[in-house]
């Protein structure tokens, strides 16, 4: 029997990209998965993919930048399927801006989604994990959480913050059956990267292949990372035999950052 069978997983941003891949992988292992995001249609599309495989995915509209939405949404998921065993704090936005021209509201928008959002969802799931004496928290940071990303002051600062928060969770709940780890991917083939590829095509008059190559060149192995590679790492961290993996930053970027 799968070690994930019957576990309740809450995955923010689970309707697309990395979050979707982790949601489908956990559902295929028999977990009950609640996926959240702002757009119900994206969530429903993921549920339809899961139905074809294994079922077990449930859609919930929840905006991580809105405290009431996170508090109510998490409570709704817990009421329906029990305490959260596995939480993947994945929702995020990636936008760039030259540092000296960055407006405060742009900075705040990125921080509110990428950092406040992770804080809020983790805060809401921890009491249930403590009650159960078992929990796995995975935050999706980035290589931009480990080094400065040019033109990405807000994004990079938010992702550094996510790693700091993850380390605090690992310290605060150590020995209580709960682990917290950050996955730090390089450029992964997802809608965020596709949107950036299109921007580069327009700005620099490049073909799709050339623009994608420009993005991949920032990964050490000069390839885009595939979502399945991130999902495999998440499954491993969630397992019963990963209880000693705690407070780590796991780079998935084709080489050392
Ligand atoms: P996507 O754009 O596919 O995923 C982002 C998800 O977050 C979407 O499902 C989106 O759903 C959700 N989201 C955004 N804002 C909110 C919000 N306010 N409330 C709730 N959900 C929200 O891209 P990725 O899969 O690539 O990104 C997932 C995570 O991985 C992000 O945190 C990103 O920073 C990180 N990452 C991605 C990398 C990459 O190269 N792709 C590299 C390193 C890190 P909706 O719009 O419906 O709300």
- List per-residue pLDDT tens for the chain, 257 residues long: 466 788 999 999 999 999 999 999 999 999 999 999 999 999 999 999 987 667 699 999 999 999 999 999 999 999 999 999 999 999 999 999 999 999 999 999 999 999 999 999 999 999 999 999 999 999 999 999 999 999 999 999 999 999 999 999 999 999 999 999 999 999 999 988 898 899 889 988 999 999 999 889 989 999 999 999 999 999 999 998 999 999 999 999 999 98
Co-location of 85 and 211 in the same domain: no
Question: Which of 10, 11, 14, 16 best tests ligand 1's pocket when mutated (most atoms within 8 Å of CB)?
Answer: 16
- How many domains does the structure of the chain reveal? 2
**Helix or strand holding residue 60 (H, E):** strand 57-61
The answer as to whether 34 is a domain residue is yes
Co-location of 170 and 90 in the same domain: yes
The answer as to whether 164 is a domain residue is yes
Q: Is 191 in the pocket of ligand 1 (CB under 6 A)?
A: yes
The answer as to whether 73 is a domain residue is yes
Q: Is 93 in the pocket of ligand 1 (CB under 6 A)?
A: yes
The answer as to whether 257 is a domain residue is no
Question: Do residues 12 and 88 make contact, with C-beta atoms less than 8 angstroms apart?
Answer: yes
The answer as to whether 210 is a domain residue is yes
Question: Do residues 33 and 27 make contact, with C-beta atoms less than 8 angstroms apart?
Answer: yes
Rounded CA separation 175/95 (Å): 38
Co-location of 219 and 234 in the same domain: no
Q: Is 73 in the pocket of ligand 1 (CB under 6 A)?
A: no
Nearest CA owner, ligand 1 atom 41:
188
Co-location of 82 and 193 in the same domain: no
Rounded CA separation 249/149 (Å): 17
Known catalytic residue: 173? no
The answer as to whether 3 is a domain residue is no
Question: Do residues 141 and 162 make contact, with C-beta atoms less than 8 angstroms apart?
Answer: yes
| C-alpha distance from residue 243 to each of 46, 136, 154, 215 (Å) | 29, 9, 32, 35
Q: Whole-prediction pTM value? A: 0.97
Convert 153-164 to b/e letters by CB count within 10 Å (16 or more is b). Answer: bbbbbbbbbbbe
Question: Which of 15, 73, 190 best tests ligand 1's pocket when mutated (most atoms within 8 Å of CB)?
Answer: 190
Q: What is the pLDDT of residue 182?
A: 98
Domain hosting 209: range is: 187-224
Q: How far is the CA of 18 from the centre of ligand 1 (A)?
A: 8
Co-location of 123 and 109 in the same domain: yes
């Amino acid at each position: 029997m799968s070690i994930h069978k019957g576990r309740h997983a809450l995955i923010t941003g689970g309707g697309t990209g990395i979050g979707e891949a982790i949601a489908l992988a956990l559902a295929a292992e028999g977990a009950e998965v609640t996926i959240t995001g702002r757009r119900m249609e994206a969530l429903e599309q993921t549920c339809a993919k899961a139905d074809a495989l294994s079922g077990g995915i449930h859609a919930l509209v929840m905006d991580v930048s809105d405290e009431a939405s996170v508090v109510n949404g998490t409570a709704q998921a817990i009421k329906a399927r029990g305490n959260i065993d596995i939480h993947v704090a994945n929702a995020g936005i990636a936008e760039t801006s030259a540092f000296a021209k960055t407006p405060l509201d742009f900075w705040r928008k990125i921080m509110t989604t990428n950092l406040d959002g992770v804080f809020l969802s983790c805060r809401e799931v921890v009491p249930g994990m403590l009650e159960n004496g078992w929990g796995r928290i995975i935050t999706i940071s980035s290589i931009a959480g480990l080094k400065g990303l040019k033109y990405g002051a807000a994004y990079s600062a938010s992702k550094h913050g996510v790693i700091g928060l993850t380390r605090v969770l690992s310290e605060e709940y150590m020995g209580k059956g709960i682990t917290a780890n950050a996955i730090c991917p390089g450029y992964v083939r997802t809608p965020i990267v596709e949107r950036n590829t299109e921007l580069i095509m327009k700005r620099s008059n490049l073909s799709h292949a050339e623009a994608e190559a420009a993005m991949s060149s920032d990964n050490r192995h000069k390839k885009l990372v595939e979502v399945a590679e991130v999902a495999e790492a998440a499954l491993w961290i969630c397992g019963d035999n990963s209880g000693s993996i705690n407070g780590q930053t796991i780079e998935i970027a084709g080489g050392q950052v």
